[in-house]
């Protein structure tokens, strides 16, 4: 008898739930708890006058029209930069099923322009992906961009007559309107970045 | 009949054999394929120490590499910094992973061309005077 009563209550509850959900309309899109910091306010990139790895101008407009995963690094970097560039090329491979307008470009801006000439970047970046864009320029011009994004970098002697560069290893997601949309901090994980990236681009109003 | 000295020496040898890295397991070794014209890359591996004594790695060498240093990438407020490690201790019954974004062997200057799928011989030198030789495959990214 008791058992029958509970079955009845369960059916009634389920029916009520169904009616209620119909009344409320379709369920809202689930809010994904992203690992990335997603900016709801508009944060336009500043104007910039850099040069890309092909020797062509690299400006704010270079970001327009596609999503860009932006990283700051340098070519004389044994661990963090190759690891991140390889990871970003993996993100590109994992998102090839998205519409072309949602597939990310990858860009690395050098924080070591003294060594990273456009030619140096042109020899370095294709190793990680044919379409990775590199940019470099005079320190004050790079400084203007890094300051606006909160990127820190400094030069440390390596004890062998050279130097290494300490730098922010975050990945910045730039929208097709050249605005900072999200920030991925270290440690970087492929699945997490792909998941968050897809969520962000799919819920973006363009 | 062994003299006391001989007995002591045998005991000492036994101690060395036990505390040495004989049981040390080194796996997952690989070298990141360097981009063209770059004389720098990194090697990674996992060291397991099943013994009841800690073991200490003091250096690494390779006939293919001019200089190998041990470094650790540390993150301070998101800023990645490389900190050179004079030695790395693998605790008793513990393991230490050299992996991207963390501990790594920095390979500086190459005597041989490092090509994909080829192997690089790495010798790990321990504080007890012994060494371990591993063969690390050259790969584009973590396997």
**Rounded CA separation B121/B126 (Å):** 16
- Yes or no, beta carbons of B82 and A153 under 8 Å apart: no
What is the residue-averaged pLDDT of chain A? 88
Rounded to a whole number of angstroms, the distance from the CA of B9 to the nearest CA of chain A is 42
- Yes or no, beta carbons of B38 and A76 under 8 Å apart: yes
Interface test with B, best of A71, A76, A78, A188 (most B CBs within 10 A): A78
Cα–Cα–Cα angle for A100, A106, A107, rounded to 5 degrees? 140
**Rounded CA separation A71/A185 (Å):** 11
Question: Measuring CA to CA, which residue among A98, A113, A102 is closest to residue A68?
Answer: A102
Q: What would the pLDDT profile of A28-82 be if each residue is shown by its tens digit?
A: 444 568 899 999 998 999 999 999 999 999 999 999 999 999 999 999 999 999 9
Partners of B40 on chain A (C-beta within 8 Å) are 76, 78
Question: Measuring CA to CA, which residue among A127, A148, A122 is closest to residue A56?
Answer: A122
H helices present in A100-173, as ranges: 118-124, 139-149
Q: What would the pLDDT profile of B82-123 be if each residue is shown by its tens digit?
A: 999 999 999 999 999 999 999 999 999 999 999 999 999 999
Instruction: Give just the sign of the alpha carbon dihedral B33, B30, A108, A69.
Output: positive
Interface test with B, best of A74, A82, A116, A186 (most B CBs within 10 A): A82
Q: Is the pLDDT of residue A119 over 60?
A: yes
Which chain B residue lies closest to A153 (C-alpha atoms)?
B79
| Backbone dihedral angles phi then psi of residue A106, each to the nearest 5 degrees | -120, 135
A96: Cβ–Cβ under 8 A, 6 or more apart, which residues?
Answer: A103
Cα of A53 vs its chain's centroid, Å: 20
Give the burial class of B60: count Cβ atoms within 10 A of its Cβ; 0-12 exposed, 13-18 middle, 19 or more buried. Answer: buried
Do residues A178 and A44 make contact, with C-beta atoms less than 8 angstroms apart?
yes
Q: Summarize the confidence of residues B26-46 as an average pLDDT.
A: 96
Q: Is the pLDDT of residue A24 over 80?
A: no
Chain B interface with A: residues with Cβ < 8 Å: 32-33, 35-38, 40-42, 71, 73, 75, 77-82, 84, 100-101, 104, 106-108, 140-141
User: What pLDDT does A103 receive?
Assistant: 97
User: What pLDDT does B21 receive?
Assistant: 65
Written as six digits, the tokens of B44 are 């990674």
Q: What would the pLDDT profile of A168-187 be if each residue is shown by its tens digit?
A: 999 999 999 999 999 999 99
Q: What would the pLDDT profile of B121-143 be if each residue is shown by its tens digit?
A: 999 999 999 999 999 999 999 87
SS3 assignment, position B68: strand
- Yes or no, beta carbons of B79 and A159 under 8 Å apart: no
Rounded to a whole number of angstroms, the distance from the CA of B19 to the nearest CA of chain A is 32
User: What pLDDT does B20 receive?
Assistant: 42
- Which pTM does this prediction carry? 0.83
């Amino acid at each position: 008898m008791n058992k029958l009563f509970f079955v009845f209550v369960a059916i009634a509850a389920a029916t009520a739930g169904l009616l209620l959900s119909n009344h409320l309309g379709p369920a809202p899109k689930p809010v994904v708890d992203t690992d990335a910091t997603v900016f709801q306010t508009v944060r336009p990139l500043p104007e910039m006058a850099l040069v890309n790895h092909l020797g062509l101008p690299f400006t704010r407009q270079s970001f327009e029209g596609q999503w860009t995963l932006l990283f700051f690094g340098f070519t004389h970097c044994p661990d963090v930069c190759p690891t991140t560039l390889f990871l970003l090329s993996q993100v590109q491979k994992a998102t090839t099923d998205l519409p072309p307008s949602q597939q990310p470009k990858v860009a690395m801006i050098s924080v070591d322009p003294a060594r990273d000439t456009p030619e140096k970047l042109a020899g370095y970046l294709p190793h990680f992906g044919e379409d990775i864009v590199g940019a470099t320029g005079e320190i004050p011009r790079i400084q203007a961009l890094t300051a606006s994004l909160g990127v820190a970098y400094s030069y440390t002697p390596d004890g062998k007559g050279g130097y290494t560069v300490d730098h922010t290893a975050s990945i910045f997601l730039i929208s097709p309107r050249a605005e900072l949309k999200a920030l991925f901090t270290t440690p970087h994980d492929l699945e997490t970045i792909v998941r968050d990236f897809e969520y962000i681009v799919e819920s973006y109003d363009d | 009949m062994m003299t006391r000295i001989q007995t002591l020496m045998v005991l000492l040898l036994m101690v060395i054999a036990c505390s040495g890295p004989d049981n040390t397991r080194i796996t997952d070794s690989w070298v990141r394929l360097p981009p063209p014209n770059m004389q720098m890359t990194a090697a990674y591996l996992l060291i397991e120490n099943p013994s009841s004594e800690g073991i200490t790695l003091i250096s690494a060498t390779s006939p293919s590499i001019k200089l190998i240093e041990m470094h650790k990438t540390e993150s301070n407020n998101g800023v990645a910094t490389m900190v050179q490690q004079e030695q790395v201790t693998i605790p008793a019954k513990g393991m230490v992973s050299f992996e991207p974004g963390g501990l790594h062997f920095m390979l500086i200057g190459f005597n041989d061309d490092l090509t994909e799928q080829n192997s690089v011989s790495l010798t790990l030198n321990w504080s007890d005077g012994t060494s371990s030789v591993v063969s690390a495959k050259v790969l584009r990214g973590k396997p």
